A and B are shown apart, each in its own frame.
Chain A
């Protein structure tokens, strides 16, 4: 199979999700080609060209692709895709925005959120907030898949650089215009790639209290996550939301604090390796899936936990 992976980047650095997608691609074929569309993005193409498993990098470097708007990027990808058997992207807001548009241009149905590739045509994906796993057979002419990155390893070995092929196709876009990006500033690790996630819910009551979570997160080198309820209430920004309709995480350690454990939240974190739950309600459903739970008031437990971890020299 000939596989095309759509790279995600900000014209300077590659989003780590792209590496997980390459790994998924390598379970479909012997190597993958990677497409980089952007502006002044050669550094990205060069980085990709030394990732093992990459056969060739296709680079469309032009101002019209600077903000990765789907109106023209999807057309560019669809043009290239006719040479391939499969087109893969990450099942995050970048891939979800772009790939269905590509699939429609190719007149094929897409498969979203692939968590397992059994063969060239058979994959598994979660539906109903992860309460059901579906096995899908996909015999479309070109397979368009979005990959759930937590289900595929991201570690990449390096190789000698492969060819970077310049695509000179310039597709104009007069339909949409980039106005701005309000980026959430954070010095913490990226939520979807973090080894430890400390996550808070409505139990924190207000945004001022929610900052209590930061001390523990920083001591653990963790990313901070949240429930929909916490985001809706304005405790944190929208991109902290974990769940069925937010981000999917699977860290080594997930600490859920003041979170009840609704199915929509579990959908985004239940594949974490080790789950800790702190909740004052002994019947909170989060306890049923937590490796270890403690019943109590988070405002007492949180400082005590920090103290105890410090005393044992388990955190900095």
Chain B
């Protein structure tokens, strides 16, 4: 069984991004694997631990630094990695088309990926990939049970938890409660240096990105004027009454 795990390199979620010269200022910021993708890697490793015949392939699309993120994934337990090299920040459909090529080329049975990259917050790529491959999708997964020909997915939906049964091959996207990712052991970090990591230029895949969408501007949201403090519950109640925000 071959599992593809797409991983994106993103700015550390706990860093506050800023705007400089009408651009997002990315200089000297700590970078990391998208947290949802770490959960996907972890889930794939757990499947491999249950079934040694599983092969885990990582893919990352982006500039040369993505290789560091891929090495991290290899250290966690993936078998090999593919870097699709481009300097451009691609939109979800373009990424999905790349992943479609990767899935077909590598005879992939299951794609495990994040529900959302925490930089662009699109939450689209997995669903788009499933459409392009004409595979079933299990998005926002909080539990995954793999059978021979079927995968059972419990999904975090607005009303609670929905369970679906999907035929393989399928695309799954992870939610926060699926698992708790492990840390890479030092010995594994050393070993990962010898695992295969190939880099392919985007141009070699024949995937074209749209020129129909453009970012015109990035800006900071309006600042909220907060900060008033009170020292007693009575004062608090007075504020609430004055603001006329109580339902009665």
Contact residues of A with B, CB < 8 Å? 69-71, 74, 92-94, 96-105, 107-113, 122, 126-141, 174-184, 192, 195-196, 220-221, 228, 231-232, 237-239, 244-245, 247, 252-253, 262-264, 270, 273-276, 287-295, 301, 304-305, 308-309, 312-316
Contact = CB atoms under 8 A, between A and B. Distances in A.
Contacts of B212: 108-109, 138-141
Contacts of A127: 119-121, 218
A104 B93 contact: yes
18 contacts: A103-B124, A126-B121, A129-B118, A132-B19, A132-B220, A179-B152, A179-B163, A238-B177, A239-B156, A275-B226, A290-B227, A292-B229, A292-B236, A294-B233, A295-B231, A309-B240, A314-B237, A314-B248
A97 to B, nearest CB: 5
Interface string B111-139: 00001101111111111111110011111
A70 B120 CA distance: 23
B247 A220 contact: yes
B228 interface: yes
B237 A309 contact: yes
Given A71-B136, A239-B156, 8 more contacts: A126-B121, A133-B219, A140-B212, A181-B162, A252-B245, A292-B228, A294-B232, A314-B248
Contacts, number: 282
A93 B162 CA distance: 11
B221 A184 contact: no
A103 B128 CA distance: 7
B160 interface: yes
Nearest to A295: B229
A183 B160 contact: yes
For B156, B157, B158, B236, which residue has the most chain A Cβ atoms within 10 angstroms?
Answer: B158
A213 to B, nearest CB: 16
Interface band, chain B:
35 or more
Nearest to B217: A135
Interface string B166-204: 110010000111000000000000000000000000000
A295 B136 CA distance: 50
B53 interface: no
Contacts of A183: 159-160
B213 interface: yes
Nearest to A102: B131
A306 to B, nearest CB: 9
Contacts of B24: 128, 132
Interface in B15-74: 16-17, 19, 24, 36
Contact of A109 (B91, B135, B139): B91
B207 interface: no
Contact of A97 (B11, B14, B140): B140
Contacts of B165: 176-177, 179
A276 B224 contact: no
A93 B157 contact: yes
Given A133-B220, A305-B236, A112 B124 contact: yes
B219 to A, nearest CB: 5
Contact of A175 (B155, B167, B226): B167
Contacts of B210: 108-109, 140
A129 B226 CA distance: 19
A177 B240 CA distance: 49
B1 interface: no
B118 A244 contact: yes
B contacts with A: majority SS = mixed
From A110, A184, A264, A293, name the one whose CB has the most chain B CB atoms within 10 angstroms: A110
Given A103-B128, A232-B177, A238-B161, A274 B237 contact: no
Nearest to B229: A293
A289 B224 contact: yes
B245 A273 contact: yes
A314 B240 contact: yes
Interface centre among B96, B152, B162 (most CB of A within 10 A): B162
Q: Which of A102, A128, A196 has the most CB of B within 10 A?
A: A128
Given A104-B127, A113-B121, A292 B158 contact: no
B164 A177 contact: yes
Contacts of A100: 92, 122-128, 131
Contact of B93 (A108, A135, A141, A220): A108
Nearest to A132: B218
Instruction: Tell which of B115, B167, B217, B240 has the most Cβ of chain A within 10 Å.
Output: B240
Contact of B158 (A93, A102, A128, A196): A93
A139 B224 contact: no
Contacts of A184: 159-160
Interface in B84-121: 91-94, 96, 115-116, 118-121
A137 to B, nearest CB: 5
B140 to A, nearest CB: 6
A110 B129 CA distance: 13
A133 B219 CA distance: 5
